[in-house]
Structure 1
Amino acid sequence: MLRIYIFILVLCCAGHIYGYLLQDMQRNIVKIITSTSHGNFGDWHDRQFCVKSAYAFGLQIKVEQPVGRGDDTALNGVKLHCASRDETIHGSISSGVGQFGSWNSPTFCPSGQFMYKFRLKVESPQGTFGDDTTANDIVFECSRIDSRGCNLTTVFAEGGAQWGDWGDWSDACPVNSAFCGIQTRVEAPTSGSDDGFK
């Protein structure tokens, strides 16, 4: 059996650029947010960032659907779609991605909103002979960068897997910031079982 665990870390960038040099671009990282539900396996992959002055406004996940008697991995990848505040689209980013499953259709925040917090749906360990999938689905909350008081929108990924329970919401990016980067921790295939994101 194969193991693939994925743990998610996102980075909040301020609405103004004046800061740290990361991947040949300047981003002002104001907060690093990790998922509240995760495992302890795998290696961190490189951080990936939206281009300068762009933030995450869309979400796409790679999921292996149930395989019956085989080993299920569920969530195998998360892709963030990036746009600037004037709604110019700037491609997508992802960190480590598992080998199983396929990419589902993306979902997006409403016009003028960007992602600022998230939560994972995670299956608890199933014991020695159980089929652990770990992360199965993810949901983000969107808001305007300059306020969090009203017009919040929850964006569910399309095609998440069925197992597990929703964890708590992550911390939120501060006002005047939004998600701008992602880093995942993925356990490479082993001779054990196939497990997806941590």
Structure 2
Amino acid sequence: MGGMAGFKGFVVWVVVLSGALAERRGALEGLPMIEVSNGGPWGAWAWQEMCPEGTYATGFSIKVEAYQGLANDDTGMNGIRLHCTQGGRGDQHQDHAVESQSGMWGKWSDPIWCPPGGYLQRFSLRVERIRGGLKDNMGATNIRFACSGGENLEGHGLSWGEYGPWSPPCQKGLCGIQTKQELPRGALRDDTALNDVRFLCCNH
């Protein structure tokens, strides 16, 4: 057991270090980034993942754990993927999905796309307020995006929590993602998985 505990500690250390290095690289490169103010408090920022050169996000999908019932632990949203293409919806079969760290629970939804010629520009995050005591907390439960043509897209997440204000827009679209994840806490502990997210703006 001691060896396994040591290995898990090493993995956590690597994840934290990777996230710190990713943030440092982003800062050094001066990449513009958008975020919101209502993210959950738990977890740490993971690494950044970028769309391939010459592509940008025209769709997204989310990983959500379905409601587990009153006696079980709920985690809500566990991950977000950007689907990057060279153009509008017509390129969706050649998309490249990118994600930062994702939680272990739930299933991925099908991609939701901007209309042809459109791309993701800004977002709003739904987060459940801190419930306190021994009550079950979930962190982020859903997300919505605004496309360049003005259309709003909402993920197939959970209804708990409230949406916060919209982020500022990335005028040239979204090209990268970084998530804030709480790692699994073990048996009989309250897990929240994804708590916050921020996106890197395209510079092309």
> How high is the TM-score relative to the length of structure 2?
0.74
Contact 1:75-1:137 at 8 Å conserved across structures: yes
What residue in structure 2 maps to residue 146 of structure 1? none
| Runs of 4+ more than 6 Å apart | none
Instruction: Note the 1:76-155 alignment, pairs <5 A.
Output: 76-85=78-87, 88=91, 89-143=94-148, 151-155=149-153
Per the TM alignment, residue 28 of structure 1 is displaced from its structure 2 partner at its CA by 8.2
Where in structure 1 are there 5+ consecutive unaligned residues? Answer: 1-20, 144-150
How many residue pairs were aligned?
163
Q: Distance in 2 between matches of 1:61 and 1:197?
A: 11
Per the TM alignment, residue 187 of structure 1 is displaced from its structure 2 partner at its CA by 1.1
Q: Distance in 1 between matches of 2:47 and 2:123?
A: 20
Per the TM alignment, residue 171 of structure 1 is displaced from its structure 2 partner at its CA by 1.1
- Write the letter of the residue equivalent to 2:65: E
What residue in structure 1 maps to residue 15 of structure 2? none
Contact 1:57-1:81 at 8 Å conserved across structures: yes
Q: Matched residues, percent identical?
A: 34
Instruction: Describe the superposition over 1:17-40 as per-residue Cα deviations: whole angstroms up to 9, x where unpaired.
Output: xxxx98xxxx983x2111221123
Instruction: Note the 1:1-16 alignment, pairs <5 A.
Output: none
Which residue among 185, 189, 192 is the counterpart of 2:184?
189
Instruction: Describe the superposition over 1:122-168 as per-residue Cα deviations: whole angstroms up to 9, x where unpaired.
Output: 1000111111111000000001xxxxxxx3111111x2112101111
What residue in structure 1 maps to residue 48 of structure 2? 47
- Write the letter of the residue equivalent to 2:43: G
Does residue 173 (structure 1) correspond to residue 178 (structure 2)? The answer is no
| Structure with greater contact order relative to length (CA < 8 Å, sep ≥ 6) | 1
Which structure features the higher share of strand residues?
1
